Amino acid sequence: MVTVLKVVRLTRQWNQAKAAELAGISPCWYSLIESGRLQPTEAVKERISKAFGRPAEELLEPIKIKALAQ
């Protein structure tokens, strides 16, 4: 699953380690959150929101990607 969080991170040309550092969480946790495999606590959502300057609910939304037919 791709989240808005990943798209915003890539747009800013941050790697996961930098995003995790700015949010004050471990890179492992960040990776799990970004991929949608872990639901963050409210405190972690707030940290992510501050690091990215956007509401956490928006950042954690999944993005549906359709395969392109050839």
- What are the pLDDT digits (tens) for 2-16? 899 999 999 999 999
pTM: 0.87
DSSP designation for 1: -
- Chosen CATH of 2-63 out of 1.10.260.40, 1.10.3720.10, 3.40.50.20, 3.40.50.300: 1.10.260.40
pLDDT at res. 54:
97
Q: Report the greatest alpha carbon distance in the chain.
A: 44
Judged on CB neighbours under 10 Å (0-12, 13-18, 19+), 2 is: middle
Q: Are 62 and 1 spatial neighbours (Cβ–Cβ below 8 Å)?
A: yes
**What would the two tokens of residue 33 be?**
């959150």
**What would the two tokens of residue 16 be?**
């996961």
DSSP designation for 12: T
Reported as a single tens digit per residue, the pLDDT across 23-43 is 999 999 999 999 999 999 999
